[in-house]
Structures are given as structure tokens and as C-alpha cells.
Structure 1
Amino acid sequence: MTDRTLHLPVAAQPSVDSLVNLAVLGEHHGYERAWLPETWGRDATTVLTSIAHETDEIGIGPSIFNIYSRSPALLAQTATTLQEVADGRLRVGIGPSGPAVIEGWHGVEFDRPLRRTRECIEIMRTVMAGETLNYDGDVFSLAGFRLRCDPPEVPVAIDAAGMGPKSVELAGRFADGWHAITLTPDGIEQRLEDLRRGAELGGRDPDEVRTTLSITACALTDGERARQLCRQHLAFYVGAMGTYYRESLARQGYEEEAHAIAAAWASGDHEEACDLITDELLDDLGAAGTPDRAREELRKFEAIDGVDAIAVGFPRGATTEEIEATIEALAPDA
């Protein structure tokens, strides 16, 4: 059975309490976990701590902590502390993010993302096991320290995010799970092959590597409003967030559309960029419309063999009320 989780809004919300309230609502409706993105708004650690204090059962996790703005040791310290605060409900997602955020916001060179991801996973595991850290890698050379507190009683699973073949293969080979985003049904099938290959290269059972697919969703009585919000969201990511989303879309059979959307956005014609998200493309990437239609589209992704969890995400322009309506309409208990 495919679990249904929440991918809390990436867009700015009115307050920390508003994010906590969405997680509480998700817990009430039976969602398995609340994932929190971290971009250039509120930091995920503080918000996840607040969520942990106000919930009892729902799992929590960052999706994602980028691997450049925190050292691997600090990522492990943070995960250790959050696991304690959350009474064992944490699962941590990490990944390189992209040059636009890493260089333009954090001022760090976006260098060797795959190698850095692998080394971060290995270092985090050593630290969270309570072992002395002696590590000689290509990116990090570390020695002599170990956690000053007890390691987590419940081990923290580490998921890796990725869209390209090599990054997904890396997740299969080294991580406990893979976080997927902006993928069509055919696209996720292709990347699952990369995940299985990576697991086999690492001598692991592919079924033990958990796949979480984040889907942009909006379920409203006004179905056209829901679909337009998702169009705007997808156009922004393809057009404004560097090359990663555009290249991923192009790999999935939408090369002409991906370049046209990016060109329209770059020229300032955001309306044209949105119009280029056709009904076919929207349905291939999201679950939007009336509650009945959105539920039907979501089930299409849940039926894919190898997808263990769907993370219900929300378009950037959605109001708090629209997000709450979508959480309720697409809840596991709906």
C-alpha cells in the first residue's frame, strides 16, 4: 500500500504557527509524515521542532536539507537532536538543491554535488552511530571527534533527493530512500530503473530503498482555479529555478515545451509560460482540479510499482484556505 504524506508549502506562509497547524491538520486526517522544504524562507529545523512539539503521531522530516549550507557533521547533529525532540519520528531528506540557491543565496560554489552527497551520507551515518569520526574523502577530511550526546535511540533514515539518472542511482546505492519531484509516470518508471541499478551496485535489496514522490496538488470546488494555480507553480519551477527542472522535463519527452516555457519566463511573459503548461502536461506532473478529479490523478501515481509514498505538495500561489481544502480532500481517510 502506498503511504500518503504531506509536502508542506514551499511558498512563504503567514507564520510558523500556520505551518504547524497544517501539520496538525495532516495528522488529524491520517497523513503518515509531514515533509518541510527549506529554501530561502524559514529554516526547517526550527519549524520541525515546533511541529514535533504540537503533534503526537505524524512523522516529520526536511525535504530537503541542502548539503552545502550545513556541514555533514552539523546535519548529523541536527538530525540527532530532532530525533530526540520528535521521539523517534524523524526521517531526514538531503540533497544538493541547485546552483541558483546554493550560489545565489548561500554564496557557496556548487561543486561535485554527487560526490558531496555520497560523503555526507557516509559521514552522517558515522556521527549518528556515535562512532569517532575519521573520514578521508575527496570533499571532506575529518578526524578525532564524536557526538558529545548519546546517538539516537531510533536510527535516523537518510533519504537523498535527485532528478537525474546518476543522482537517483546514487540514492539507490547509498541512501535509505529517494525523494523524487517533477516526474511524469513514465519518467518515474525510468528513474526507478536507475534506483534499482544503484541498489544492486551497492549490494542492497532495491525494495529496501524507500521512494517518495512529491506531487503538486490542488483540489478545490473551483476546479479551474486549482488547475491554474498548479500551472503557475510548474511554470515557475521550469522557468525560474535554473536548469535542473527544465532538463528533467526534457528527458521525459517534453523537450520542446520545457525550452518554450523557460524562454517565455526569461522574457518576462509569465502568462505565456503558464499557458504552455497544457492539460496533458499538467496531468502528467500533478493532481489538480475538483476533489474527484484530483483524487483520480493522485491514484495514477500511487499505482506505480516501486513508489512507496506520495507527498501531497501545494502550488506557490495557493491560500491557506486552499491548502487546507486540498489536505482534507486528498487525505488518506477521505
Structure 2
Amino acid sequence: MKLGLALGYWGSRPPDNLLETVTAAEDLGFDSVWTAEAYGSDALTPLAWIGSHTSKIKLGTSVIQLSARTPAAAAMAAMTLDHLSGGRVVLGIGASGPQVVEGWYGEPYPKPLARTREYVEILRSAIAREVLTYDGKHYQLPLQGGAGLGKALRSTLHPIRTDMPIMLAAEGPKNVAMSAEIADGWIPLFYSPTDDQHYRDSLAEGFARPGARRTAADFEVPCMVSVHIQDDVEAAADNIRPHLALYVGGMGARGVNFHYDVIARMGFEAECAKIQDLYLAGHKKEAIAAVPLAMVEKIALVGPRAKIKDELPRWQDSLITTMMVRGDSPDTLRTMAELLG
């Protein structure tokens, strides 16, 4: 299992120790660094800056949102950054959810699976420097209607790689299966190595489809795993609880929250319902306090070094090919490099 650094997206400002953390990851032999976006900082600008301060580490997006850019715009950004970094880009994409897509981008959110499939097909064509013509239900190139002057074009930029790795973020079984069918990897969120049979089944279904791009042997599964090392296990878990409460309770409407569904499937149906009720009622502190330690330990590594060392084998035996460490300091990265070295 390879190691990656998960930076996520920024809060109200960039993290103070960003360069120190990235430099430490590259010096420790981490394979990749990953950024994200929601409705604040974007994923690609920090990667360009990180790429200018590094030389070997792969630059991944986990993830960029489909509605933030047209497929051609995403291809332009990826090819440009690939040139600037010497071919280090790994493009992770995801559909996000209706609250962000319709509320932030002002775009509709129908049929995310079909849109994702079309998006990836156009993205691959653009990166391969093919003339872009596409007649889909969600995308048409050239545009039908409009001024009637659209012209089928190909990129003026010659890519370093015409077959850049593309990975899909997915949580539901149909999306996971499609990842195995059309992508080079799957990026899970809130993954538990002890509750993953449904993911294995979905991936197997995708690999078995006619024309599947990869097999289980060469398919990548990078996954963010929060790591907090300290003797007090509950105090370490307190670093994860606000994030879980936000995603289970408020990152999606009631009945349309994919993150809620993932955690509930792990055996926390009652706990998720309570967290969501509290969060949506405006009781955020109580929602955070309602996140049990067992829920945190399903998807994160918290506690003293010896405890984390004992728990690592279940991750090494899992579907994960890259553990994207979300840690609070370069010391955490060094510890993980030692434990998995």
C-alpha cells in the first residue's frame, strides 16, 4: 500500500504549514499529494503551486467537481498542469451533490451517473487530442442551437500523456461499479476496511462489464484516512467528530445525503439519524458530541502509536492501494512512513 498526502480543501484561509507538510511528504517518499474543492478553495490552483515546489510526488485531485468546469475546460487544466509538472497529474473527478451543484454552481443535478459517463468520454477525447464531436443527452459538441457557428475543435496543446489517469469519486453501488468500468481508479470517502463487501461486489460487477477499462489487478483505490496520534483516544477522535457531524448531518438534504448513507451502511443507522436531526435543527455542538468513538474508528486511525500500528493490517489487507493520510503535522507523516515502511 502506497502513501499519499490528503490536503483536502481549505477552510477560511490556507493552512499555515502547507509547504512544510508537502515537502515532508515528498522527502519521506510519499507517492502522491491530493487536493479537493467544495465551495471555497479550488483543487487545481494549489496543485500548480505545490508542483512548483516539488519534483517527484504525483499531483492528484480528490476531487474536482464536474459542474465546476466543462469537460473541455477540465482537460485544458489537466494537460497544462501535466506539462508544468512533468507528467505528474492524476485527475480525480466527482459529481458532488445537488446542494452544491444547484446552489453554488447554478447547474441542474439530474442523472449524475449518465452525466459522469459522458463527461469522462469527452475528457478522454480532449486529452487524446481528438477533434471534439459529441452528441450526448447532457453534452453536445459543437453545441446544438446557439449562434449556429460552433466548430469541432481539437486542442492546440499537445499533451505529455494522451492517456492521463482518471479516477472517479463514488459512494453509491452504481457509481462504484461505473468507476470499475470506465475509470482507472475509484476514490472512496468514509471507507471502512471491515465493511467493504458491498464495494467489492460493485467493483466486481464493473470489471465484468464488456469493454471495462481495467481489471482488479491494475485498478487504483486511493482513500483518505484521517490520522491523529495521541495517547488519549477520545481526544484524538475529537479531531474527527466535527468533520463526520458535518458530512452526516449537514452535507446534503434529509433523504438526499450520500455520506449519511455510507456511514449508516456501516451499522450506524440510529446514530446517523440522531446526528442529522441535531445538525439540521441547528444544534451543531450536540451533533458533534453524538458521534460515537466506534464510528470514528471505522474510518480513521486515532490514538497512541501502538494502537494505530495494531490497526494498520486491516487497511493493508483492504481494497485500498494508496492511503491518503490526512494528518495534523509532518510528525504524523513521519510516523506513518515508519509504520508502513
- So what's the TM-score if we normalise by structure 2? 0.89
- Name the aligned partner's letter for residue 324 of structure 2: A
Residue aligning to 2:332? 326
Post-superposition CA distance 1:287-310 (Å, at most 9, x none): 112233234334422221x32111
Unaligned runs of 5+ in 2: 143-151
Post-superposition CA distance 1:143-186 (Å, at most 9, x none): 41110110223631000000000010110110111001112224
What aligned pairs does 1:13-92 form with structure 2 within 5 A after superposition?
A: 14-15=13-14, 18-92=17-91
Residue aligning to 1:236? 246
Is the Cα–Cα contact under 8 Å of residues 92 and 156 in structure 1 kept in the other structure? yes
Post-superposition CA distance 1:14-64 (Å, at most 9, x none): 437743332222111221100101122222221111111100111111110
Is the Cα–Cα contact under 8 Å of residues 16 and 47 in structure 1 kept in the other structure? no
Residue aligning to 1:219? 229
- Name the aligned partner's letter for residue 231 of structure 1: R
Structure showing the higher helix proportion among its residues: 1
Unaligned runs of 5+ in 1: 315-321
Post-superposition CA distance 1:46-97 (Å, at most 9, x none): 1111111100111111110100110001111111111111101111100101
Residue aligning to 1:106? 105
User: What is the SS of the residue equivalent to 1:42?
Assistant: coil
Residue aligning to 1:265? 279
After alignment, is 197-206 or 82-91 more displaced?
Answer: 197-206
Residue aligning to 1:134? 133
Residue aligning to 2:218? 208
Residue aligning to 1:168? 176
Is the Cα–Cα contact under 8 Å of residues 3 and 32 in structure 1 kept in the other structure? yes
Is the Cα–Cα contact under 8 Å of residues 25 and 330 in structure 2 kept in the other structure? no
User: What is the SS of the residue equivalent to 2:125?
Assistant: helix
Residue aligning to 1:277? 291
Residue aligning to 2:147? none
Post-superposition CA distance 1:211-260 (Å, at most 9, x none): 12222222235544321111222112111111111112222322111111
- Name the aligned partner's letter for residue 150 of structure 1: H
Residue aligning to 1:187? 195
User: What is the SS of the residue equivalent to 2:188?
Assistant: strand
- Name the aligned partner's letter for residue 313 of structure 1: R
Are 1:311 and 2:317 matched, yes or no?
Answer: no
Distance 2:216 2:321 in 1: 12
- Name the aligned partner's letter for residue 282 of structure 1: V
Matched residues, number? 325
CA RMSD of aligned residues (A): 2.0
- Name the aligned partner's letter for residue 334 of structure 2: E
- Name the aligned partner's letter for residue 155 of structure 1: D
Is the Cα–Cα contact under 8 Å of residues 26 and 56 in structure 2 kept in the other structure? yes
Residue aligning to 1:245? 259
User: What is the SS of the residue equivalent to 1:163?
Assistant: coil
After alignment, is 122-131 or 251-260 more displaced?
Answer: 251-260
Large movers: runs of 4+ above 6 Å: none
Is the Cα–Cα contact under 8 Å of residues 220 and 290 in structure 1 kept in the other structure? yes
Is the Cα–Cα contact under 8 Å of residues 83 and 159 in structure 2 kept in the other structure? no
Distance 2:47 2:130 in 1: 26
Is the Cα–Cα contact under 8 Å of residues 135 and 142 in structure 1 kept in the other structure? yes
Structure number with larger C-alpha Rg: 2
- Name the aligned partner's letter for residue 294 of structure 1: I
Distance 2:18 2:84 in 1: 18
Pick the aligned partner of 2:161 from 153, 156, 179. 153
Distance 2:205 2:218 in 1: 13
Is the Cα–Cα contact under 8 Å of residues 214 and 313 in structure 1 kept in the other structure? yes
User: What is the SS of the residue equivalent to 2:81?
Assistant: helix
Distance 1:64 1:297 in 2: 27
